[in-house]
Chains A and B, each alone.
Chain A
C-alpha cells in the first residue's frame, strides 16, 4: 500500500511540476502575444438585404478577399485586419446609423464605402463629420461628387463616363452598318440617369434618331407597358438605365413576349452580375447583352488574375461569372492599404491629404488618381458583352483585349 502511496505521491509531484511548466509556457506565450500588434478594425456598412442585396453580397466577398490577402501577407503595417461589417438593408437612413455606430461605438480605425451612390453620399457625410476618409467603390454618380465633400474617394469609374466607349463605337460604325434609331429608357436613379444623356448626345450627332425616351420610377415592378412602348417604337438600339438584374430581366422578358429583338441592347447594370444575371434570364437570352463597366473577370490589370483565382477557389464559379462589384470592393482595400503604408499609420486626416496629393495608385481595376472632388480620373470605361457562356470585353475597339462585337443581337432564346 505504501508502495502505491509513493507512486501516487510521485505522480502528484510530476503532475504539479508539469502543470507549472505548462502554465509558465502559456503565460510566456501570453506575454509574447501581448507584444504583437493589435488588430485594426475597418468599418463597413453593406446592403446584405433589400434592393441592393446582390451587389452588397458581392461587395462583401470583395472586401473579405482583400482582407484575407492582406492578413496572409502580414496585415496593414503589421496589424491584422478585422472587418466590422453591418447590414444597412439598402436603406439610406440605416447607412447613416451604421457609420455613426461604427465610428463612435465600435471605434473602427478606417471606414470603407457601402454599395451605390444612394448610400455612399450619406455615409460620406457621416465620415466627414468625424474626420474619417470615405474610400468607396460604388458611389460614382455626379450627385455624390457635387456634394463638395473632401473626404470622399471613389476608386471606380465615374458613372457619367460609363457609356462613352459604347456610344463612340456605335457612332463610328460605317453608315451601312450603323443603326438609325435608338430608344432610351431609364430608372430615376443617381447611377443611371447621368449616363443616358451622354450616350444620347453622341449617338444623335452620328444621326441615330431617338425613337423613344422615358424615365420610370425606381419602385416600378410592372415593366410591361414601358417595354411594350419601347417595342412599339421598333428602335434598333435599346439603352436601358438599370441598376439591377430584375429590371433588365423584366424588359428582356417583355421584349421576347412582344416578339421584338433590338439589334443592340445595352443595360447600365444587371448583365455585369455574372451568374445571377445568367441564371435569371437564361444563358441563351443573355447572348448579345451588353453592359458598360471598368472591370471583368478576364481583365489583365495587375493583381486581377490573382484575385480572380482566389475568388474562384473560395466561392466557386468561373471568371466570367464574377461580379464587377467584387473588384470594386477589392480596389477600395488596395487603395486604403497604399495610403496607410505611405502615411505610416491610420491617421485619417493624413490619409485624406495623401489621397488628394495627386499620387497615382494601383488597383485591380487599373490606375487610380483622385481629382479634387474625389473622382478617379484615371479610370477607363469598357463595354462588355455576353457571347454564349462567356462575358467578354468588346470595346474600346482600340484595346487589344477587345473581342469582335456580336451584332445584331441573336433572337431571344436562340
Chain B
C-alpha cells in the first residue's frame, strides 16, 4: 500500500459517498417529517436511472441535462405515491404499515421496470463516464467529480430551502413536532406531500450518477435500499447532516480498508463502526432521541 492509493481511496470515498448521501437524504427527510420509512427509495433511484437511460439512448439527451426533466417527473411520482398510498396510513401503527406499503409499491415498480426495460443490466454512457483527469498524480474520474458537484449543489439547495425559506421553517417545525406545527397553523399534510415529493425527486439525480457508475437492473434496488437504510441509521433517523456524514463514512471506510488491509474486510469494517456507534449512541450520530419518542 502506498500513500497515493490511500489518498485516492479517501477521495473516492468522499466523492462517491456524497451521492449515496444525496439518495439517503430523501429517505431521512421523509422519515423525519412523516415517520414514514420509504422502502421504495431504492427502486425509485433505479427508476431515476432508467429515466436518464431512456432520455439518453432514445432521445440523445445528455445525462445532466436530462435531470431538468427527470427531477420534476420523480417529484410528481412522489406526490402521487404520497397522496394515493402513504397519506391514507393513520394511527399508531403508521410507521410499521409504511414499511409494508412502500415495499409493495417497490415490488410493483420493480415488476413494471422489468417488463419495460427487461431484466438485462444496462449502464448509462456519456463521454465523461469513463474518462478521468490527472491531478497531483491521481487520476480523478470526471463522473465522480461531477456527481459530487451535483450532490453538493442539490444538498446545498435543500439546506437553503430548509433554513432560509418560510416553507423550510414549516418542514423543520414538522420535523420537530407535527402536532405543535399543526397547532400554529402549518398545513402539515401539504408539508408532508411536498416533502415526500422532494424525497423522491432527489432519487433522479442519485439514480443518474449511480447508473453511470454501475450496471443496473430493477433488482439492483435491493442492495441500494439496504445501504440507504444503513446510512440513515448511522447518521440518525431524520437527520440530513447525519445522512451526509454517514454516506461519506460508509464508502470511505470501505475504500480505505480495502486499500490498507484487504477488500475482504471492507464491507464488514463499516458495520463494525456502525455497531460501535449505535452501542454508544443508539439514536445514531446526529439523531435526536427525544424527537422519536414523541
Instruction: Tell whether A257 pairs with B255 under 8 Å between CB atoms, given A54-B120, A188-B264.
Output: no
User: Does A300 have its Cβ within 8 Å of any Cβ on chain B?
Assistant: no
Closest A residue, CB atoms, query B210: A221
A229 near B259 with CB under 8 A, answer: yes
Q: How far is the CB of B173 from chain A (nearest CB, A)?
A: 37
CB neighbours of A282 from chain B (8 A): 125
CB of B109, distance to nearest CB on chain A (Å): 13
B69 close to A (CB within 8 Å):
no
Q: Among the listed B114, B130, B215, which residue makes an inter-chain contact with A280, where contact means beta carbons less than 8 Å apart?
A: B215
With A257-B141, A279-B122: A220-B267 Cβ-Cβ less than 8 Å: yes
Tell me which of B93-101, B163-171, B219-227 binds A: B219-227
B132 contacts across to A, CB distance below 8 A: 256-259
Among listed A147-155, A210-218, A353-361, interface-contacting one: A210-218
Tell me, yes or no, whether A281 is within 8 Å of chain B by CB. yes
Task: Find out whether the CB atom of B263 lies under 8 angstroms from the CB atom of A214.
Answer: yes
A246 interface contact, C-beta 8 A:
yes
Q: A225-B5, A225-B8, A276-B120 are in contact. Are A253 and B213 (CB under 8 A)?
A: yes
Q: Whose C-beta in chain B lies nearest to the C-beta of A56? A: B119
Q: Are A221 and B110 in contact (CB under 8 A)?
A: no
Contacts of A280 in B (CB 8 A): 121-123, 215
Interface residues of A in 266-288 (CB under 8 A from B): 275-276, 279-282, 285
Among residues of B, the one whose C-beta sits closest to the C-beta of A218 is B267
Known: A232-B2, A276-B121. A53 touches B258 (CB 8 A): no
- Among residues of B, the one whose C-beta sits closest to the C-beta of A260 is B139
Q: From the candidates B12, B139, B266, name the one contacting A216 in the complex (CB within 8 A).
A: B266
Q: Which of B16, B122, B220, B268 contacts A224 (CB 8 A)?
A: B16
Q: B residues within 8 A CB of A285? A: 130
CB distance from B246 to the nearest CB of A (A): 15
Contact check: which of A50, A253, A275, A279 meets B129 at CB < 8 Å?
Answer: A253
Tell whether, in the assembled complex, residue B121 and residue A246 are in contact, meaning their CB atoms are under 8 Å apart.
yes
For A226, the closest partner residue in chain B by CB is B263
Known: A229-B259, A249-B215. A222 touches B16 (CB 8 A): yes
Q: Is the CB of B130 within 8 A of A413?
A: yes
Residues of A within 8 A of B118 (CB): 57
A249 to B215 alpha-carbon distance, docked (Å): 7
A219 touches B5 (CB 8 A): no
Q: Give the size category of B's interface with A.
A: 35 or more
Does residue A48 face the partner (Cβ distance < 8 Å to B)? yes
With a CB–CB cut-off of 8 A, which chain A residues contact B267? 217, 219-220
Residues from chain B with Cβ under 8 Å of A181 in the complex:
none
Which of B121, B131, B139, B251 has the most chain A CB atoms inside 10 A of its CB? Answer: B121
Whether the pair A279, B227 counts as a contact (CB closer than 8 A) is no
B residues 206-223 in Cβ contact with A at 8 Å: 213-220, 222-223
B179 beta carbon closer than 8 Å to chain A: no
Q: B254 in the interface, Cβ–Cβ < 8 Å?
A: yes
Q: Is B233 an interface residue (CB 8 A)?
A: no
- Contact, CB under 8 Å: B121 / A245: yes
- Separation of A228 and B251 alpha carbons in the complex (Å): 15
Q: How far is the CA of A229 from the CA of B261 in the complex (A)?
A: 12
Q: Specify which chain B residues have a CB less than 8 angstroms from the CB of A257 in the assembled complex.
A: 130-132, 139, 141
Report the separation of the CA atoms of residues A413 and B213 in the bound assembly, to the nearest whole angstrom: 16
Q: Is B9 an interface residue (CB 8 A)?
A: yes
Q: Are A221 and B130 in contact (CB under 8 A)?
A: no
Which residue of chain A has its CB nearest to the CB of B213? A253
Contacts of B222 in A (CB 8 A): 50
- Residues in B with CB closer than 8 Å to A390 are none
Assuming A258-B132, A258-B139, A259-B132, is B219 touching A225 (CB within 8 A)? Answer: no
Closest chain B CB from A272 CB (angstroms): 14
Which residues A51-80 have CB closer than 8 A to chain B?
A: 51, 53-54, 56-57
Instruction: Kindly list chain A residues whose C-beta atoms are within 8 Å of the C-beta of B259.
Output: 225, 228-229
Q: A80 to B18: give the CA distance in the assembly, Å.
A: 56
Contact of B262 with A by CB under 8 A? yes
A276–B132 Cα gap in the complex (Å)?
25
Residues of chain B with a CB closer than 8 A to A412's CB: 130
A95 to chain B: closest CB distance in Å? 16
A222 vs B222: C-alpha distance when bound (angstroms) = 16
Contact B262 A222, beta carbon cutoff 8 Å: no
A100 at the B interface (CB under 8 A): no
A288 to chain B, nearest CB (A): 16
State the Cβ distance, B104 to closest chain A Cβ, in Å: 15
- Evaluate contact between B139 and A259: CB separation under 8 angstroms: yes
Tell me the complex Cα distance, A53–B117, Å: 13
Question: Known contacts A225-B9, A253-B213: does B218 contact A49 (CB below 8 Å)?
Answer: yes
* Residues 82 to 99 of chain A near chain B (Cβ within 8 Å): 90
- State whether A54 touches B217 (Cβ < 8 A): yes
Known: A232-B5, A249-B123. A225 touches B215 (CB 8 A): no
**Beyond A51-B219, A222-B16, A285-B130, 15 extra complex contacts between A and B, CB < 8 Å:** A49-B110, A49-B119, A50-B222, A54-B121, A214-B262, A215-B263, A217-B266, A219-B267, A221-B223, A225-B12, A257-B130, A257-B132, A280-B121, A281-B123, A412-B130
Top 8 closest pairs, chain A to chain B, by CB? A216-B263, A246-B215, A257-B132, A257-B141, A276-B120, A280-B215, A225-B258, A225-B255
Give 24 A-B contacts (CB < 8 Å), ordered by A residue. A49-B110, A49-B218, A56-B119, A216-B258, A216-B264, A219-B267, A221-B214, A222-B251, A224-B16, A225-B258, A225-B263, A225-B266, A226-B263, A228-B259, A232-B2, A232-B4, A244-B121, A257-B130, A257-B132, A258-B132, A276-B120, A279-B123, A281-B215, A412-B130
